[in-house]
Amino acid sequence: MYFSKVSLSRSAETYTILTVGDGLVTILPSLLVSVAGGIVVTRAASKESLGVNWQAVIYSPRLLWIAGGALTALGLIPGLPKIAFFSLPPC
């Protein structure tokens, strides 16, 4: 039986990358369910149409500043693709 010898630092690095990736893959479905729940609650609590509600939310300057700050912060993290985060238009 063949076992490769890997250094402790290399195995810890691989384990960390795989753990973070697994966490991101696990959290995406729960994020989608939470957003869908928020949409249903917003729709049920309002007398206006869903389009009118979303238009008020999407064109909020505060929301755009928060999204821009989050994209900038992600772009500054080493190892993440900077072109993908810094080339997105500010809407």
For residues 83 and 91, give the distance between their C-alpha atoms in angstroms, rounded to a whole number.
17
Q: Is residue 53 part of a domain?
A: no
- Using an 8 Å Cβ cutoff, are 85 and 75 in contact? yes
Query: What is the domain range of residue 19?
Result: 7-48
What is residue 49's DSSP assignment? -
Q: What is the mean predicted confidence (pLDDT) over 2-6?
A: 76
What is residue 5's DSSP assignment? -
Q: Is residue 64 part of a domain?
A: yes
- CA nearest to 54, candidates 43, 65, 67: 43
pTM of the model: 0.43
Q: Is 48 helix (H, G, I), strand (E, B) or coil?
A: coil
Q: What is the pLDDT of residues 47-84, one digit of tens each?
A: 777 777 777 777 888 888 888 888 888 888 888 788 87
- The percent of residues above 90 in pLDDT, for the chain, comes to 2
Q: Is residue 54 part of a domain?
A: no
Tell me: do 39 and 11 sit in the same domain: yes
